[in-house]
Amino acid sequence: MQLATKIAALAACLVLGATVFELVRKKRIREEYSLVWFAVAIGFGGLVLLDRLTLRIINLMGGTNVSSLFFFAGTFFAVLMLVHLTVRISEIKRKQNVLIQESGLLREQLERLSRRIEQEAEVPSEREQ
Amino acid sequence: MNPRMLAVIPAFNEQESLGAVLGEIARVDGVDAVVINDGSGDATSEVARSAGFPVIDLPVNSGMFCAIQAGFRFALRRGYNIVVQVDADGQHDPAGIPALVRPIVEHDLDVVIGSRFLGEVQYRMPRSRLLGTRLFAWITSILVRQRITDTTCGFRAYGPAAIRLFATDTSFEFRDAVGLVMLKRGGFSLAEVPTVVRPRHSGESSISMLSSILYPFHYLLALAVVYLREPVRRI
């Protein structure tokens, strides 16, 4: 791997790690979801630094250049992340439906109780008259 | 069974037709009703309240099944043992409720479906939709080993076990044919009775062109999932 390519790839990993860290610090990403992105940044950084090992892995897979391994790993990770996010969205949608239903039911119950209290308050005042 | 019946009416922007539907329900003996306002932007909620019916206002539009399930939760908490699903657009005739619930009251069945294709058929639908409906009914009949003629009619009645299941299981949408197959796999009993479905009082159907195109694929995928999952259990 050429030095310029190495520097660019390492810089990309550092930017990714720093961005995720900043998002966690600002509470825009929960810690539990940030771990996977730190792992990606460290993993890709490792592949860049250990380029001889990277090349051996590529040769074992029948490839000839380093970029093909990064492309393969990147695509595979992106697909895995999409599946993970779909699972999370489905789970959130299910929980959201329950909350929406409960919110409607509680509002109906509140209205019913308020009406009953108003009616009970009216009855004694009518008796007093 | 001493029936305590609740008509669950999911409604989304149905201010024009809802009043008439509620008026018809009020004339059916022994049936209470609850309107589930599914985030309507019109006066649906006010129409139901002014008619004297309880309303569950969902804060945002969440889809037909979410609305119906809110009705099942309401029924379970208020001690109803029969739920009848009635559309707010006036297509379902509430006068048909006694015939719909009879198999549950007299024979303890779990779910009764109103069928537009039994008895004297008056319902007209486009040929392509009719073909699809017949095909789904045929596949469903094979899977549940029982003749089912109409899998998509929403005019249905549910007994106590089905109410408990629908009110508490949030992991799956028990709708249309897939819901019937899932119920049958779980040992629930099904029956059909003839029903008349009328044209809408007003407004437009919520079924879009895209959802009509995607429906067969969704149906087949959901059916496959039913057989890959554990059967539902009576609670």
Mutate to test the interface with A, among B57, B60, B171, B172 (most CBs of A within 10 A): B57
CB contact under 8 A, A97 and B171: no
On chain B, the residues whose CB falls within 8 A of the CB of A100 are: 58-60, 62, 66, 70
What residues are paired with B8 via a beta bridge? Answer: B34, B85
Which tens digits make up the pLDDT trace of B120-164? 766 677 777 788 888 888 988 998 899 999 888 889 999 999 999
Mutate to test the interface with A, among B58, B61, B80, B166 (most CBs of A within 10 A): B58
For range B7-21, the mean pLDDT:
96
Is the minimum CB–CB distance between A64 and chain B shorter than 8 Å?
A: no
Distance of residue B92 Cα from the nearest chain A Cα, in angstroms: 24
Is the minimum CB–CB distance between B75 and chain A shorter than 8 Å?
A: no
Nearest to B73 among A96, A105, A112 (CB): A105
Is the minimum CB–CB distance between B209 and chain A shorter than 8 Å?
A: no
Is the minimum CB–CB distance between B58 and chain A shorter than 8 Å?
A: yes
For every residue of B153-167, DSSP letters joined together read ---EEE-HHHHHHHH
Report the alpha-carbon distance of residue B34 to residue B54 in Å, rounded: 5
Is the minimum CB–CB distance between B210 and chain A shorter than 8 Å?
A: no
pLDDT tens per residue across all 129 residues of chain A: 778 888 998 999 999 999 999 999 998 988 888 898 999 999 989 988 888 888 888 888 887 777 777 788 889 989 998 999 999 999 999 999 999 999 999 999 999 999 999 999 887 766 666
Is the minimum CB–CB distance between B190 and chain A shorter than 8 Å?
A: no
Mutate to test the interface with A, among B37, B78, B170, B172 (most CBs of A within 10 A): B170
Q: Report ipTM for this prediction.
A: 0.84
Which residues lie closer than 8 Å to B41 by C-beta, 6 or more apart?
A: B13
Indicate if the alpha-carbon torsion angle B59, B61, B65, B68 is positive or negative.
Answer: positive
Q: How far is CA B161 from the centre of its chain?
A: 16
Is the minimum CB–CB distance between B61 and chain A shorter than 8 Å?
A: no
Strands laid side by side in the B55-58 sheet: B55-58, B31-38, B5-11, B82-85, B156-158, B111-115, B190-194
pLDDT confidence tier of residue B177, bands split at 50, 70 and 90: confident
Is residue B96 within 8 A of residue B155, CB to CB? The reply is yes
Which tens digits make up the pLDDT trace of B24-83? 999 999 999 999 999 999 999 999 999 999 999 999 999 999 999 999 999 999 999 999
Which tens digits make up the pLDDT trace of A29-66? 888 888 989 999 999 899 888 888 888 888 888 877 77
Report the alpha-carbon distance of residue B181 to residue B178 in Å, rounded: 5
Question: Can you give the pLDDT at residue A79?
Answer: 92
What residues are paired with A80 via a beta bridge? Answer: none
On chain B, the residues whose CB falls within 8 A of the CB of A114 are: none
Question: Token pair for residue B111?
Answer: 């779910």
pLDDT confidence tier of residue B203, bands split at 50, 70 and 90: low
Is the minimum CB–CB distance between B35 and chain A shorter than 8 Å?
A: no
Nearest to B186 by CA among B138, B230, B130: B230
Mutate to test the interface with B, among A87, A90, A93, A101 (most CBs of B within 10 A): A101
CB burial of residue B69 (10 Å; 0-12, 13-18, 19+)? buried
Residue of A nearest to B58 (CA): A104
Which tens digits make up the pLDDT trace of B97-111? 999 999 999 999 999
On chain A, the residues whose CB falls within 8 A of the CB of B70 are: 100-101, 104-105
